Amino acid sequence: MAISIMILGILGLFFLNSKEDKALLYLKRFAVILPLLFVDYDIIAQINYSCDLETYSCEKNWDNNGFDEVSGACVGNGLKDNAFGTSYSKIVEMYNTVAVTGHNGGALTFTAKIKIEDYWGGSWDASEFKNIKFYYSSTQPSSSSPGTLFHTISSWSTSDNCNDHSATFNPGTTISNLYICVTYEVQNGGDHNIWIDEISIVETSGPNTWTGNSSTDWEATGNWSSGSVPTSGDDILIPSTVTDPVISTSVSGVDLTIESGGELTISGSGSLTLSGDVDISGTLNYTSSGSITLSKSGGTLSGTGSQTGADYVIASGGSYTLNDSWSIDNMNVNSGGSLDVATTKTLTTATDLTNGGTLTCSGSANLTVGSDVSLTGTTTMGSGTLDLDGNYTNSGTFTSGTSTFKMSGTSQQTINNTNVSVSYTGAEHRQMF
């Protein structure tokens, strides 16, 4: 984007009035080009801030409330203050007076090197240390209003001096103007010097968000907020847009979130491999011959959106909890994979349900299957219902609990349980055996 703006600026020079004074003309040309050479016109802002607190250009933004730049810090000079006594001086605060900007809505990690010593040079008395606290705010902090607490250090030893002390927080929204406040408090009459140095604020990369700016093509770079197509290391966000994405090849990512109003179509031989969580609050249209393969250990499946024709596979090593009722086409839990349907929730498949791994229906969770059930792994029911329209085959380990077995097919259905085969015609209900 920066390059294209520069090109437009340079091209514009050729259309200046040729009758202008030559000197003024060249001055105007230089004034147009100069800002373009030094301004970064990134499409996505993201905080990656650092300050060596002996560097005046940024140190002056933190040098306040009694903290002064002095020698003796962890790396050269740093900002130092003295906390002492039992009244107002027992707490000291340091914060930035000029906001850090560029937040893109992601989680933020604050890091600082911290050093604490006895003011008189005596041995360290840990009982005099009370705490160090980190706060963030969207307005400039003060002693009485430091911001929102996101981290507390409640103990200290000499071995903690000059280490990187970090904490991560997620504001849950974009903060246009970010302030960080660090406080230190002594107790039991302590008298300490504290140095703070080498600070940084780094934003975790947010999701690669579909924009649909150029087409419906998933593989078109112009359709993504990052300017690149999602890879296996990216979280993927599909919001409500005028132009919805279509997958027709094999693609991958980490988390997939389809927001309310958002829509994703997987067609042809398209497939999707995810190593993270899935939240379908919008619409997933699935007409592909491929599948959605899930591999995260400790993953979640959520959302109450529409999933027409969706075929899911939980790969070996993948383990997921279904936290909302889902209606999909097919679910296949591979050997080494696991799925836990949360209590009161229902997993409904239009066609088959296959479990070669571990399938658990917690509490009163239900399974509603439009075709066949094939169980070769470990299946555990609670007090819910297994309702199927097709045939039932079990050669694995089945724990029925107090669940109910319901056969809702309109034609003959067969139950194959090891060496036992029983046929029912029409809708029959039986307590689980």
Whether residue 158 is found in the same domain as residue 268: no
Boundary residue ending a domain (172, 203, 234): 203
Q: Residue 425 pLDDT more than 50?
A: no
What's the average model confidence in pLDDT over 279-295? Answer: 95
Alpha-carbon span 276 to 207, nearest angstrom: 12
Tens digit of each residue's pLDDT (9 = 90 or more) over 373-383: 999 999 999 99
What's the average model confidence in pLDDT over 367-375? Answer: 96
Q: Residue 108 pLDDT more than 80?
A: yes
Q: Residue 424 pLDDT more than 50?
A: no
Whether residue 18 is found in the same domain as residue 76: no
Whether residue 98 is found in the same domain as residue 17: no
CATH number for the domain spanning 92: value is 2.60.120.260
pLDDT at 241: 94
What is the Cα gyration radius of the chain? 31
Burial of 38 (0-12, 13-18, 19+ CB in 10 A): exposed
- pLDDT-derived band of residue 421, with 50, 70 and 90 as boundaries? very low
Boundary residue ending a domain (181, 203, 225): 203
The domain of 75 spans: 48-203
Whether residue 72 is found in the same domain as residue 149: yes
Q: Residue 300 pLDDT more than 70?
A: yes
Mean pLDDT of the chain: 86
Alpha-carbon span 392 to 103, nearest angstrom: 54
Q: Residue 340 pLDDT more than 60?
A: yes
Whether residue 332 is found in the same domain as residue 362: yes
Tens digit of each residue's pLDDT (9 = 90 or more) over 39-49: 333 334 578 99
Whether residue 398 is found in the same domain as residue 422: yes
Whether residue 338 is found in the same domain as residue 394: yes
pLDDT at 39: 33
Residue 195 vs residues 34, 74, 92, 205, 224: alpha-carbon distances, Å? 40, 8, 11, 30, 44
The least confident of 299-303, 341-345, 404-408 is: 404-408
Whether residue 336 is found in the same domain as residue 285: yes
Tell me whether residue 368 is in a domain: yes
What's the average model confidence in pLDDT over 99-128? Answer: 92
Tell me whether residue 43 is in a domain: no
pLDDT at 18: 45
- pLDDT-derived band of residue 10, with 50, 70 and 90 as boundaries? very low
Q: Residue 228 pLDDT more than 90?
A: no
Tell me whether residue 277 is in a domain: yes
The count of other CB atoms within 10 Å of the CB of residue 106 is 17
Whether residue 319 is found in the same domain as residue 418: yes
Tell me whether residue 371 is in a domain: yes
Full-prediction pTM beyond 0.75?
A: no
Whether residue 274 is found in the same domain as residue 186: no
Give the number of domains in the chain. Answer: 3
Q: Residue 101 pLDDT more than 70?
A: yes
The least confident of 130-134, 283-287, 425-429 is: 425-429
**Which letter does DSSP use for residue 94 in this model?**
E
Alpha-carbon span 307 to 311, nearest angstrom: 9
Whether residue 323 is found in the same domain as residue 219: yes
Sheet holding 263-266: strands in order across? 246-247, 263-266, 283-286, 306-308
Q: Residue 427 pLDDT more than 70?
A: no
Boundary residue ending a domain (156, 180, 203): 203
Q: Residue 403 pLDDT more than 50?
A: yes
Alpha-carbon span 80 to 20, nearest angstrom: 57
Q: What percent of the chain has pLDDT over 90?
A: 69
Tens digit of each residue's pLDDT (9 = 90 or more) over 341-354: 999 999 999 999 99
Alpha-carbon span 340 to 112, nearest angstrom: 41
Alpha-carbon span 99 to 36, nearest angstrom: 24
Tell me whether residue 280 is in a domain: yes
Whether residue 187 is found in the same domain as residue 293: no
Helix (H) or strand (E) holding 58, with range, is helix 56-59
